[in-house]
Structure 1
Amino acid sequence: MANVLATLDGQPAACASVCVKDGAAGIYCVATLEEFRGRGLGFAITRAAMVEGTRKGASHALLHATEMGIPIYRKIGFTEQCRAPIYGFGM
């Protein structure tokens, strides 16, 4: 597992995690702080996670997307493979 962090003017602004297994980079927890959105940081941090995945031996990447993230991931070249239900449990 590796974590990547984007900063803007010395402030943490966006982050993502990547886990590589069997040649696949799973990209998780992609987030940009609200005040930094609209500046391309989501795109940049996702690409940085992909580069890290490649460095660790991945030949392809996968992720789960929120509605907000879908346009960004499509620009990078991700395509929808399936729709999976998400289950939650309130504690």
Structure 2
Amino acid sequence: MTDLATLSMWCGFTDQAEIAEALIAWGTTLGFAPNRPIVHFLGRLDGRPVATATLVLGGGVAGIYNVMTIPEAQRQGIGALMTVSPLMMARERGYKLGILQSSQMAYPLYRRLGFQDYCQFGIYLWSGK
């Protein structure tokens, strides 16, 4: 992702305006330099945005996050491409270890791509009350 317009499309994958605005502000702060440690990916099908992913580089580890594909574009290999593309970028930058967190739905995909279980953890929500 190299410009604000594409970042805005990437942030459009949330249906909550305040979250999209916060993501745009965060992404703009990070900038669009080619060697930045956080890179967002936007997948398109026939020119239409259908998938996202984020690559976070640091400490010798390439983290893959925010892999999402809209329902009507699923089961076409797009999720795999949105996972492998950031890993290839990380490899080009010298990274040899990739990590991610998986939903139950995506678990078989990541296993096919060669990821192995390392640990399991819970997700907790704080409501602010």
Q: Same fold (TM over 0.5)?
A: yes
1:1-24 CA-partner distances (Å, limit 9, x unpaired): 001121110001111000111211
CA distance in 1, matches of 2:104, 2:50: 20
SS in 1 for 2:98: strand
CA deviation profile, 1:51-86 (whole Å, cap 9, x unmatched): 122123311100110001101100100001111111
List gaps (5 residues or longer) in structure 1: none
Which is higher, the Rg of structure 1 or of structure 2? 2
Aligned to 1:59: 96
CA distance in 1: counterparts of 2:121 and 2:94, whole angstroms: 27
Cα RMSD of the aligned pairs, angstroms, is: 1.0
The answer on whether the counterparts of 1:13 and 1:33 sit within 8 Å (CA) in structure 2 is: yes
Match of 1:26 in 2: 63
The TM-score normalised by the length of structure 1 is: 0.93
Match of 1:48 among 81, 85, 91: 85
Over the matched positions of the two proteins, sequence identity in percent amounts to: 32
Give the number of the structure with larger relative contact order, counting CA–CA contacts within 8 Å between residues 6 or more apart.
Answer: 1
What is the aligned residue count?
91
8 Å contact kept, 1:18–1:28: yes
- The equivalent residue for 1:36 is 73
For residues 47 and 36 of structure 1, the distance between their equivalents in structure 2, rounded to whole angstroms, comes to: 17
Give every structure 1 segment of 4 or more consecutive aligned residues whose post-TM-superposition deviation is greater than 2 Å: none
Say which SS state the counterpart of residue 43 (structure 1) adopts.
Answer: helix
Q: Which has the higher strand share?
A: 1
1:17 matched to which residue of 2? 54
